[in-house]
Amino acid sequence: MSSNVIRIATRRSPLALWQAEYVRDELMARNPDLQVELVGIATRGDKILDTPLAKIGGKALFVKELEVAMLEGEADIAVHSMKDVPMEFPDGLFLPVICPREDPRDAFVSNHYASVEELPQGARVGTASLRRQCQLKERRPDLQIGTLRGNVGTRLGKLDSGEFDAIVLAAAGLLRLKLESRIAQFIPDQLSLPAGGQGAVGIECRNNDQRVIDLLSPLHDQDTADRVLCERAMNRRLQGGCQVPIACYAELQGDDLFLRGLVGEPDGSRVLRTEQRGHRSDAEAIGIAAAEELLAQGADKILAELYAEQ
């Protein structure tokens, strides 16, 4: 019957299609007889483009319709940017595979300036994320930050039309879409700590679908998975995602994880930071410890005020 076919539910944005095609190609390279089909699906997040994400419900907006398609049997897997995946999965679904990470840094894109440091006083910078805004404003309170939404092409268009002097995006998206030439600066993580999961792609499927789980397992990268598990544990404890100025980034140093995290005010006036280390087998505990330390420094108050505003 359909045992030779695997269907990937995907949004139709260029980045989502790149991710789905990446997984398709990886599966086909390992299974020459497998038929892989893409099932295009529009999500609410794709339809509402004029409002900051924080105001309309955040990242889950890009995921729900894909999950319904899998639960109803219209598709077998969905490929996600780990940055956009909610912490909990609906009954019947799970995320067993995380692929090797692309460059996790933020990218500074400008037609006139080579780096954040070179921006003139009062320059206009576009970004969709409070995390980027908070860190930019901490260093450069003079910058005027404007909201930037839409897919990568739309965002670059707003830069090119002169609406902004510079924009900040995930480097991973630009690299995947072969737009590396647009990157003026890979922003050092000391200046812009990435979002949890940034640059990593994960694959969700039905948790009882052993055929599909077996096909996917060679695509898994345990180093990336441990790092992302650690980062997401911090986010989960803080109950935050890209709606709030939270950053967290874990690196492997031998078998130890080194996690840096921060929570800040959107205007950069106050930024709390933490660093945690521990064995990779304790990935979740390290993430939770980071969250606890930030809460003890006052992150709970910052986050409560932000959620009250939304």
Ligand X SMILES: NCc1[nH]cc(CCC(=O)O)c1CC(=O)O
d(CA 252, CA 279) in angstroms, rounded, equals 9
Q: Shortest Cβ distance from residue 22 to ligand X (Å)?
A: 11
Q: Which DSSP helix (H) or strand (E) runs through 201?
A: strand 201-206
- Name the active-site residue from 25, 46, 50, 84: 84
Contacts of 49 (CB under 8 A, 6+ apart): 149, 150, 154
Radius of gyration of the chain (CA): 19
Q: Shortest gap between Cβ of 106 and ligand X (angstroms)? A: 8
Contacts with ligand X by CB under 6 A lie at 81, 83-84, 169-170, 172-173, 198-199, 242
For this structure, is 84 an active site residue?
Answer: yes
Rounded Cα–Cα distance for residues 44 and 54 (Å): 14
Distance separating alpha carbons of residues 257 and 190, to the nearest angstrom:
17
Q: What is the 3-state secondary structure (H, E, C) of 72-94?
A: CCCCCEEEEEHHHCCCCCCCCEE
CB of 208 to ligand X, least distance (A): 28
CB of 16 to ligand X, least distance (A): 9
Q: Which is nearer to ligand X, 81 or 276 (CB)?
A: 81
Specify the residue, 142 or 180, whose C-beta has the smaller distance to ligand X: 180
Measured CA distances, 261 to 5, 92, 98, 251, 308 (Å): 41, 32, 21, 12, 23
Which C-beta is closer to ligand X: that of 67 or that of 84?
84
Choice between 24 and 83, CB closer to ligand X:
83
What six digits make up the tokens of 57? 């419900």
Q: Which is nearer to ligand X, 192 or 289 (CB)?
A: 192
Residues assigned a catalytic role: 84
